[in-house]
Structure 1
Amino acid sequence: MVAPRALLALAVCACYPASYLTNKYVLSVLKFTYPTLFQGWQVLVGGLLLHLSWRRGWVEMHGGSRSDVLTWLPASMLFVGIIYAGSRALSRLPVPVFLILHNAAEVIFCGHQKCFRKEKISSAKICSTLFLLAAVGCLPFNDPQFDPEGYFWAVIHLLCVGAYKIVRKAQNPSALSDIDQQYLNYIFSVALLAFASHPTGDLVSVLDFPFLYFYRFHGSCCASGVLGFLLMLSTVKLQSVVAPGQCAAWIFLSQVLTAGLSALLFDLVLTRATLGCFLLGGLGEALLVFSERKGS
């Protein structure tokens, strides 16, 4: 019989690449570049499925007080920035490039903990952040598919991810569980993205989308919403039953699988210099996993 931990780890390893590759297909192949609508759809599906899971008793939500909800509001605003900027960046950048830039958010988080909170950072974690920083610094100059707008949105994305980690860390221990926090993220994101869809022009421009009435577009969008929810749920469940270092190791493995599969499915011009940047970023992430496991 397979242990529940192993099933959750396998679920993360399956949902992570499936979610990213489906999103990449919709954004880059079908070219559905209307982030307020696409991300709004994803968080709407995630929120509905999470609410259904709570009603069925599959997950627990406590709600928290009004003050707890208001305290979490800045994190929810950053979450909207994460998914919006991430969608814009992923539509223009190869998946391995996006993942390297995404992981660089750890540099911001560690820098804040070291400089402002005066926390002791292990030498392994310092080395990992330096490797990640070097990879991000070298990648734009060695990327044959360099896209200025894609990198711009990727930088906004990693800044939001780093700030989200800082805010989340500052509120722990919190009266809100991980599921409560994600539910609030979903609700706030649906409201804000729905409101922003008209001013950004997405609501009007989408009428000219050539695949709007095609089944493969509808199926891909449904899959992206469901897979995003399953990835979130399996990750939260895995974090609750294993040590942080073990969870980080499984996520790192999922990212490696995602990058490898994306290179087979989507266009990726790989030079020696670009490969060196990928390996440097991978080494930084591996050192981070090692430091997490050592710390736990």
Structure 2
Amino acid sequence: MKPFETNENDLESGKLDKDRDKGTRSNRVLKIHNQALLSGLAYCVSSCSMILINKFVLSSYDFNAGISLMLYQNLISVIIVSMLSFLGVIHTEPLTWRLVKVWLPVNVIFVGMLITSMFSLKYINVAMVTVLKNVTNVITALGEMYLFSKHHDSRVWAALFLMIISAISGGITDISFHAIGYAWQLVNCFLTASYSLTLRRVMDTAKQVTKSGNLNEFSMVLLNNTLSLPLGFLLIVVFNEVDYLSRTPLLRLPTFWLVMTLSGVLGLAISFTSMWFLHQTGATTYSLVGSLNKIPLSVAGILLFKVPTSLENSASIFFGLLAGVFFARAKMRERS
């Protein structure tokens, strides 16, 4: 009877182990799904909130110092990242002179990208900004073709063509059309595309001059924002924002400083949540969610800021957003 009892116990033990393995596996899958969902939601909320709060500061408060807003947001990012690095929560590379020299051209484009985004957002409604940003994808695709000899399939080119059509039709039917705002947004598209293309070339060189031979996302955030501070101060003087800042009563409002600080925290939150979401899912899901994220952002921008629109303009915006989703899906298939 002893051997029989032993075998029965072994079988029972085996069933329990299998059940335990199934439970552990299901918990792990559930945890991964929850992480992906939570990170995706955090990324969407932070990116939408950042654009809307910038629009609120520049338009609703009628704040005419976009460079100063950019500088304050970058200063908030530097303070938070430096504190997290000092406490050992994250790891960042030390800023050496060799690294600064390599990264400086990228940073100049980065600052120009942020400033032109501020200037365009002051004059153009959020929905049209999201549609016009699609032009960046067209410029980037052409840059990849000429600089890196990368060829795109017919689906990608079809999506890019739809983006151009939607941008043109959106501009023609825009009731609140502002030529200066559109000009700034066009410059922003060129700078954003240049930033992504230049970053690819500089990245490998930058890694070689770091002490660890690597450059993580936190180090890039700290590097970009730190180098932008002296350049931002210079541009504030060049664009004569000092005189405006000394006269505006907004800087005496505690609520205005609270909104400004919140925008800086959200700017950093986008960097963290995008990295988190990218690690939990992948580049294809990240790009698709980023395109889908523009739809609620555009609707929120129209409703919150009571943007005057027409049926034709709304159709152009919706058409442009769908073209963005179509582009993301085409890129996913191209990668696969």
The reply to whether TM is greater than 0.5 is yes
- Contact residue 57 and residue 259 of structure 2 kept, 8 A: yes
Is 1:254 the counterpart of 2:285? The answer is no
**In 2, Cα distance between equivalents of 1:225 and 1:109:** 27
Instruction: Give the structure-1-normalised TM-score.
Output: 0.93
**In 1, Cα distance between equivalents of 2:189 and 2:235:** 21
Is 1:77 the counterpart of 2:108? The answer is yes
1:229 is displaced (CA, Å) by 0.9
Cα deviations across residues 125-159 of structure 1 (Å, max 9, x unaligned)? 21221111122222222111000111111111111
Structure with the bigger RCO (C-alpha within 8 Å, sep 6+) is 1
Is 1:56 the counterpart of 2:87? The answer is yes
Is 1:155 the counterpart of 2:186? The answer is yes
CA shift in 2, pair 1:199/1:65, >3 Å: closer
Cα deviations across residues 41-63 of structure 1 (Å, max 9, x unaligned)? 00100111111222233333234
- Contact residue 76 and residue 189 of structure 1 kept, 8 A: yes
Partner of 1:61: helix, strand, or coil? coil
Give structure 2 stretches of 5+ with no counterpart. Answer: 1-30, 208-214
CA shift in 2, pair 1:172/1:239, >3 Å: farther
Moved more, 261-270 or 272-281: 272-281
Aligned letter for 2:173? N
CA shift in 2, pair 1:40/1:290, >3 Å: same
Matches within 5 A, 1:249-288: 249-288=288-327
1:79 is displaced (CA, Å) by 0.6
**In 1, Cα distance between equivalents of 2:257 and 2:279:** 34
CA shift in 2, pair 1:241/1:65, >3 Å: farther
Aligned letter for 1:79? F
Identity of aligned residues (%): 18
How many residue pairs get matched?
A: 296
Is 1:205 the counterpart of 2:244? The answer is yes
1:138 to 156, 166, 169: 169
Give structure 1 stretches of 5+ with no counterpart. Answer: none
**In 2, Cα distance between equivalents of 1:64 and 1:287:** 40
Cα deviations across residues 224-252 of structure 1 (Å, max 9, x unaligned)? 11111111211122223321111112222
Partner of 2:132: 101
Instruction: Give the structure-2-normalised TM-score.
Output: 0.83
**In 1, Cα distance between equivalents of 2:243 and 2:95:** 38
1:199 is displaced (CA, Å) by 2.4
**In 1, Cα distance between equivalents of 2:222 and 2:253:** 31
**In 1, Cα distance between equivalents of 2:163 and 2:91:** 36
Partner of 1:185: 224
CA shift in 2, pair 1:65/1:291, >3 Å: farther
**In 2, Cα distance between equivalents of 1:260 and 1:57:** 40
Q: Which has the higher helix share?
A: 2
- Contact residue 100 and residue 281 of structure 1 kept, 8 A: yes
> Cα RMSD between the aligned structures?
1.9
**In 1, Cα distance between equivalents of 2:34 and 2:91:** 22
Aligned letter for 1:191? P
**In 1, Cα distance between equivalents of 2:250 and 2:97:** 43
CA shift in 2, pair 1:158/1:256, >3 Å: same
